[in-house]
Amino acid sequence: MKCPYCGGETRYAKCEFCGSVIEQSAGETVNEMIHDVTRNVTQNIVQNITINPDTNISISKKSKSTAITLCCLGFFGLGGIHRFYAGKVGTGIIWLCTLGCFGIGTVMDLVSLIINKFDDNEEKLIRKW
């Protein structure tokens, strides 16, 4: 928006150039704040992905191939066995009783295992074959 006093282009309720307070509706102010927060969050996410990829990651001693094999048993009625193997007993019981959260949880866990995002009960990623 343009400052009515100096004509400078600004995004805020206070002109960045002359310091004048610019009258705005509440909706405009909220929209500006949402835009700024969204932009900052997006920049932080992009920065973390590009600058800090997988730093300080703890790798589990559990076998990825074993976890995938046990996860696939979920498609045959034994959902959650891979969660017991990973040490996640509570969710393992839930997966076992609900047939892998009706198959959706089993598929999500299988994808997580394949793309190296599934962790054990100590929050260490299961990556070793």
Query: Is pLDDT above 70 for 24?
Result: no
Report, as an integer, the average pLDDT of 24-44. 67
DSSP summary character for residue 54:
T
Rg (CA), the chain: 25
Confidence bin at 46 (pLDDT 50/70/90) = low
Query: Is pLDDT above 70 for 116?
Result: yes
Question: Which helix or strand (DSSP H or E) is residue 16 part of?
Answer: none
Strand-pairing partners, residue 2, are: 9
Query: Is pLDDT above 80 for 92?
Result: yes
Confidence bin at 37 (pLDDT 50/70/90) = confident
Across the chain, mean pLDDT equals 81
> What 3-state class would DSSP assign to 21?
strand
Residue type, 52: N
